[in-house]
Structure 1
Amino acid sequence: MERQNADTGPFVGAIVLIKRASDKILLWQGYACGVAWLALAIFITVEVTSRYLGGYFTGVSDEISSYVLAFSGTWALAYTLSIGGHVQIDLIVEKFSDKARKIIAVAAAIVTFLIASLYAYQTWLLAIDSYQNNIRSISTLATPIYLPQSLVAIGLTMLAVQAVIQAFWSAVAGDQGQTQLTAV
């Protein structure tokens, strides 16, 4: 009986399907962040122009800006991980063998998962507590604070999920996810 190549087995096929689905979700998140940034830029421009011309001023642009920055920043982390856009220093790693680089890539993804999971878990606990206690921002909007906290928690959760996908992808592809899906 001929041994099946590890690169063409059903496990690899499943990883490819999961990675493709994840990439689509992360791309949607990226578009949502872009729309939020565009809307924020328009809102601030209108607010500043109106104030300059002596018109209406809402006084909430700083609060809305902080919410948009918080959620869009965390939502972008998973997408950046999926495309290999985070800063990495390859000075030493490039001198290792392919097997060692694969192990380092998997280990880095596992550490990312552990840290992102911890942050996501704590942020979800904070959002749940804010919801249960009806905590609101001390501002004109009196925003239920669990809303922006939940958006941040979603971004951190997606980062943790992407780190798991990245660990498996690195184990299969061996290059921290840089290989094109069609190459598998």
Structure 2
Amino acid sequence: MRRILDRLYAGALWLAAVTFGLIAVLVLLQIAGRLIDRAARLVDLPPPGLTIPSLAEFGAFLFAGAVFLGLAGTLQAGGHVRVKLLIQTLPAGAARWLGVLVCAAAAALSAFATWSSALQALDSLQFNSVSYGVIPIPLVIPQGVMTLGLALFCVALLDSMVTLARGGVPGYRAAETRTEEQA
């Protein structure tokens, strides 16, 4: 089970990285189009008008997808900000159970966010909602990706909670320990 979850988190991180890469490619293509237009004007040619319609929407949707897909893997890699002042002052057992409680509360919040996001995506699907840009994008696509990212984050929080409850070291703590040892 551990390998499956780790691969799931890594796969979501990989998709988030691909999504950021797509944003970079789209922006570079838009810049290249503008440069070609300027070069054409410099030599008294009509600019070809190379643009990517709805670039701002594509970029925003891709960015949101990258952020939400990256939540679970970032948690496991110790990349989320954690305030450890209270946990560091508690005895090990109490600190572990406080961690379980915090993971449970965060999982409950992320489960609610997942549920709300799924309802929004279902509404968008039912009513065929699309974006307002030049290229109408079905809103169920970015909302579905957001829901998937939130669901994976909820799984990662539950994974950490169970690991802590069993006396193990959750992924975020193992990553923090490795970072502290390297410093």
Place the TM-score, normalised by the shorter chain, in its bin: 0.7 to 0.9
Report the RMSD for the aligned CA atoms in angstroms.
1.5
Name the SS for the 1:142 alignment partner: coil
The aligned residue for residue 62 of structure 1 is: 56
Equivalents in 2 of 1:40, 1:85: separation in Å? 22
Are 1:149 and 2:143 matched, yes or no?
A: yes
* Alpha-carbon shift at residue 152 of structure 1 (Å): 0.3
Name the SS for the 2:114 alignment partner: helix
The aligned residue for residue 74 of structure 2 is: 80
Name the SS for the 2:166 alignment partner: helix
Equivalents in 1 of 2:29, 2:135: separation in Å? 18
Gaps of 5+ in 2: 38-47, 176-183
Conservation of the 8 A alpha-carbon contact between 2:130 and 2:136: yes
Name the SS for the 1:59 alignment partner: coil
Equivalent of residue 46 in structure 1, options 16, 21, 29: 29
* Alpha-carbon shift at residue 140 of structure 1 (Å): 1.2
Deviations, residues 115-142 of structure 1 (Å, cap 9, x unaligned):
1011100000000000001111111111
* Alpha-carbon shift at residue 59 of structure 1 (Å): 2.8
* Alpha-carbon shift at residue 108 of structure 1 (Å): 1.0
Conservation of the 8 A alpha-carbon contact between 1:94 and 1:101: yes
Equivalents in 2 of 1:58, 1:26: separation in Å? 32
Q: Which has the higher contact order (CA 8 A, sep 6+)?
A: 1
* Alpha-carbon shift at residue 174 of structure 1 (Å): 4.9
Equivalents in 2 of 1:83, 1:43: separation in Å? 28
> Which residue identity is paired with 1:95?
T
Gaps of 5+ in 1: 1-17
Are 1:119 and 2:113 matched, yes or no?
A: yes
Counting matched residue pairs gives 163
Equivalent of residue 168 in structure 1, options 162, 166, 170: 162
* Alpha-carbon shift at residue 31 of structure 1 (Å): 1.0
Equivalents in 2 of 1:167, 1:109: separation in Å? 5
Deviations, residues 29-83 of structure 1 (Å, cap 9, x unaligned):
1111111211220111111121232141123211110111111101111111122
Conservation of the 8 A alpha-carbon contact between 2:69 and 2:146: yes
Conservation of the 8 A alpha-carbon contact between 1:84 and 1:176: no
- TM (norm. structure 1) is 0.83
Equivalents in 2 of 1:121, 1:62: separation in Å? 27
**Change over 3 Å in CA distance of 1:124–1:154 after alignment to 2:** same
Equivalents in 1 of 2:67, 2:23: separation in Å? 14
